[in-house]
A = this chain, B = another copy of it.
Amino acid sequence: MTAGKASVQPVILSGGSGTRLWPLSREDRPKQFLALTGDRTMLQLTAARVLGKAGFEAPLIVANARHRVEIERQMAEIGAEGVALVLEPAARNTAPAIAIASLRVDPDAILLIMPSDHLIANVDRFLSAVASALPAVQEGYLATFGITPGTAETGYGYLCRGEAISPATYRVGRFVEKPDAQAARDYVASGDYSWNAGIFLFRARDYLSALALYAPDVLNACRNAVDHGSTDGVCFMPELTAFSGSPSISIDYAVMERAERVAVVPVDIGWSDIGSWDALYEFIERNDEAAKSHNLSLDARGCLIRSDGPVVAAVGVDNLIIVATRDAVLVIPRGESQRVKEVVEELKRLERGTLL
């Protein structure tokens, strides 16, 4: 994007947890902290998209307070020491997280909201899309970047473009939560639908105004939490009781699906939220990414092998996902990685909490 008066404040949301990439991802080590495609973690890749780029401020990271040390370590590794953190004392989903960030910056600041655990293969195209959305945002639109769907996924929300605001920006016609398979196929075929990927661009003041209208209890709780929050160096901690009083609600439900002036910028940027080991395999195949190798494969074909330490010797096997850590190993055929949740459920049932 061109450097100009309107500089963009990236806000990286690192509040997520999850075990869909078990055994590498754990409750205390969600996938944003993993290096899945090379030497850099997903959080590092997310920050690096904007770090030092013309027109962007240093990112602000909103994260679980427990992850402070890990985030500071990862930012130092990419030369982003001293990045500002908002440390959430509780998990309240994205609407409150973004509210805190919005209340901590200049009301006219333009916020680029980015989940910390998505991959974007074509960063230049992504940054161009951000630039192209600025005019609409300057007019008060809440913009979302809609991913051109590659397949008829039923696990994502879709949004339909309406009338054009500018060549690359449209009003959002409607939001559709996870559709059935037939609807998903229709959406993809129509060319009018995008996946809702949770990447947003708006002025802080416009988000806060929308919150005041559609989710005033979120706004009030967060304003209270900021007013009574505390600061430790570059870290800001919203006050626990007030923040915990906010409803736990996503920005989509709280604001985007209700607000009047919502825009979509369709983008084809090689995006993936790496929601499963199969998704990682596909991302790597599609984008020809190098993988950090801890393996000694001999005649292994079509395998995804990941390890955070143990060397993996895969010999003469095909189409397997093999993931190794020091305390757990997963072996599962490609195409079945959604079954990881069965393993996680079984570990819970067996009270093997240290493995989760």
Q: Quick one: which of A315-356 are within 8 Å of B by CB?
A: 315-317, 320, 322, 324-333, 336, 339-340, 342-343, 346-347, 350, 352, 355
**Contact assessment for B332 and A310 in the assembled complex, using a CB-CB cutoff below 8 Å:** no
How far does the alpha carbon of A298 sit from the alpha carbon of B337 in the complex, in Å?
13
Interface size on A, residues (CB 8 A): 35
Chain B residues near A347: list those with CB within 8 A: 296, 311
**Is A213 part of the contact surface with B, judged by Cβ < 8 Å?**
no
**Contact assessment for A312 and B331 in the assembled complex, using a CB-CB cutoff below 8 Å:** yes
**Contact assessment for A339 and B310 in the assembled complex, using a CB-CB cutoff below 8 Å:** no
**Contact assessment for A315 and B327 in the assembled complex, using a CB-CB cutoff below 8 Å:** no
**Contact assessment for B328 and A310 in the assembled complex, using a CB-CB cutoff below 8 Å:** yes
How far does the alpha carbon of A320 sit from the alpha carbon of B314 in the complex, in Å?
11
Chain B residues near A298: list those with CB within 8 A: 339, 342-343, 346
Chain B residues near A115: list those with CB within 8 A: none
How far does the alpha carbon of A313 sit from the alpha carbon of B347 in the complex, in Å?
10
Chain B residues near A332: list those with CB within 8 A: 313-317
**Contact assessment for A328 and B343 in the assembled complex, using a CB-CB cutoff below 8 Å:** no
Contact of A23 among B307, B313, B350, B355 (CB under 8 A): B313
How far does the alpha carbon of A325 sit from the alpha carbon of B23 in the complex, in Å?
15
Contact residues of A with B, CB < 8 Å? 23, 296, 298, 307, 309-317, 320, 322, 324-333, 336, 339-340, 342-343, 346-347, 350, 352, 355
23 sample A-B contacts, Cβ–Cβ < 8 Å, listed by A number: A296-B346, A296-B350, A309-B326, A310-B324, A310-B325, A310-B327, A310-B328, A311-B352, A312-B331, A313-B329, A313-B330, A313-B332, A314-B332, A315-B331, A315-B336, A315-B339, A316-B333, A317-B320, A317-B333, A322-B329, A324-B329, A326-B326, A326-B327
